[in-house]
């Protein structure tokens, strides 16, 4: 299948080369130049911002979560400013905490950066963060503020928000949906089993899609989070059943120590307007990527050769993703944002070496976090590419 798709992609490229949106590396003044990733990558109107860390400091008294969250948000602000944008341009943020006990303090600091509208957001507890940070925040911004709007379903049709985030935010033709859990909005109850939580979560997301005049068929990318390794096998059947008989979107799943509140399953979705051309890459029913217009969302990939070094696994993954990009008519030069899931952040230097090999010039924005190992894999990688 892949060889056939590659041949088709090459044929299409030979016949007609589409116009590319302008791509810019966004680097604030004074930003480190020795990192293997860029602080921000702007493709057309969309700006992908690398994960910004809130560091505890080296003193005897660690920095408070208020200080760490502000450091991370100030870093986001510096990238926005370098792109000629502000916090009002943010449409989706991903917050990773080292401890969910810091959720309230992070919320208070985070909210102070917004006046009025807040972006969609997903918040999870990572197993660990680089440099022993207490928080890492990566965001997506949109340059045309007139094309940004909040989607709010009718009162009482969604669980009450646990923080300062919008249910969903339009950025042009793309809808970014906040991470949602499986609380029933009518009864306030959360199912005891993961299939029940996943089913209710997708029902809550469907309510949000309906408020945006969309359906599940318009979803192009999903990311799921679970808190227990022994429940991973229960996730795919529940997820697939919720979409049946529709073809599946790009999809990922990682295991993390903790999620907000009592939930054990959380999902975040990206959807597009029906007018945007949606193309599966790979198997039509279970694609390994979705190309929506000029943007490709690839499934998080792991190495099939588990048990080898992180360098070997990373090379396997990026080789596979090159094939995915080629099947979608793109190259590594089109990659705008990468999320790296490590099972041990101590492997970050080794992963960085392979990352530099893969993206030697104008590398993409990146977020790196540690998640729970599900087997012998030591790294998993997801990416977004755009022209």
pLDDT single digits (tens) 327-356: 999 999 999 999 999 999 999 999 999 999
Average model confidence (pLDDT) for the chain? 93
pLDDT single digits (tens) 190-224: 999 999 999 999 999 999 999 999 999 999 999 99
Mean pLDDT of 252-264: 95
pLDDT band at 45 (very low <50, low <70, confident <90, very high): very high
pLDDT at 20: 74
pLDDT band at 12 (very low <50, low <70, confident <90, very high): very low
pLDDT at 75: 98
Mean pLDDT of 2-6: 37
pLDDT at 17: 36
pLDDT at 11: 28
Residue 9 has pLDDT above 60, yes or no: no
Residue 368 has pLDDT above 60, yes or no: yes
Residue 169 has pLDDT above 50, yes or no: yes
Q: What is the 3-state secondary structure (H, E, C) of the chain?
A: CHHHHHHHHHHHHHHCCCCCCCEEEECCCCCCCCCCCCCEEEECCEEEEEEEEECCCCCCCCCCHHHHHHHHHHHHHHHHHHCCCCHHHEEEEEEEECCHHHHHHHHHHHHCCCCCCCCEEEEEECCECHHHCCEEEEEEEECCHHHEEEECCCCCCCCCCCCCCCCEEEECCEEEECCEECECCCCCCECCCHHHHHHHHHHHHHHHHHHCCCCHHHEEEEEEEECCHHHHHHHHHHHHHHHCCCCCCEEEEEECCECCCCCCEEEEEEEECCCCCEEEECCCCCCCEEEECCEEEEEEEECCCCCCCHHHHHHHHHHHHHHHHHHCCCCHHHEEEEEEEECCHHHHHHHHHHHHHHCCCCCCEEEEEECCCCCCCCEEEEEEEEC
Token pair 């975040």 in the structure block, residue: 268
pLDDT band at 19 (very low <50, low <70, confident <90, very high): low
pTM: 0.94
pLDDT band at 71 (very low <50, low <70, confident <90, very high): very high
Mean pLDDT of 84-104: 98
Q: Answer with the residue of higher pLDDT: 11 or 85.
A: 85
Distance CA 133, CA 143 (A): 29
Pick from 206, 208, 198: which is nearest to 169 by CA? 208
pLDDT single digits (tens) 273-294: 999 999 999 988 889 999 999 9
pLDDT at 7: 33
Kindly give the pairing relationship between strand 289-292 and strand 295-302. antiparallel
């Amino acid at each position: 299948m892949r060889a056939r798709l590659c041949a088709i992609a090459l044929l299409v490229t030979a016949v007609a080369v589409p116009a590319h949106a302008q791509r810019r590396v966004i680097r604030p003044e004074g930003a480190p130049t020795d990192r293997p990733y860029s602080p921000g990558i702007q493709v057309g109107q969309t700006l992908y911002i690398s994960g910004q860390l809130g560091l505890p400091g080296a003193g005897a008294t660690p920095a408070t979560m208020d200080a760490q969250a502000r450091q991370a948000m100030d870093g986001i602000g510096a990238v926005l400013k370098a792109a000629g944008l502000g916090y009002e341009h943010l449409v989706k943020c991903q917050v990773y905490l080292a401890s969910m006990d810091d959720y309230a303090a992070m919320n208070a600091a985070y909210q102070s950066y917004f006046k009025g509208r807040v972006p969609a957001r997903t918040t999870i507890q990572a197993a660990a963060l680089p440099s022993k940070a207490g928080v890492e925040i990566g965001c997506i911004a949109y340059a045309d503020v007139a094309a940004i709007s909040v989607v709010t379903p009718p009162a009482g049709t969604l669980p009450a928000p646990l923080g300062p985030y919008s249910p969903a935010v339009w950025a042009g033709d793309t809808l970014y949906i906040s991470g949602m859990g499986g609380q029933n909005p009518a009864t306030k109850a959360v199912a005891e089993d993961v299939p029940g939580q996943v089913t209710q979560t997708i029902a809550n997301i469907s309510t949000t899609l309906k408020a945006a005049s969309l359906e599940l068929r318009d979803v192009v990318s999903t990311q799921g989070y679970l808190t227990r390794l022994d429940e991973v096998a229960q996730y795919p059947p529940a997820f697939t059943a919720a979409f049946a008989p529709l073809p599946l979107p790009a999809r990922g799943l990682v295991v993390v120590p903790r999620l907000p509140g009592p939930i054990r399953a959380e999902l975040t979705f990206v959807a597009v307007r029906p007018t945007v051309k949606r193309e599966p890459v790979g198997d039509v029913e279970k694609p390994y990527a979705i190309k929506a217009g000029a943007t490709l969302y690839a499934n998080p990939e792991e190495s099939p050769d588990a048990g080898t070094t992180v360098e070997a696994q990373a090379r396997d993954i990026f080789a596979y993703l090159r094939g995915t990009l080629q099947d979608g008519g793109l190259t590594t030069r089109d990659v705008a944002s990468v999320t790296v899931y490590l099972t041990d952040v101590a492997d970050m230097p080794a992963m960085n070496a392979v990352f530099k090999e893969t993206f030697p010039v104008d590398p993409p924005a990146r977020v790196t976090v540690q998640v729970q190992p599900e087997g012998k894999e030591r790294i998993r990688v997801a990416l977004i590419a755009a022209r």
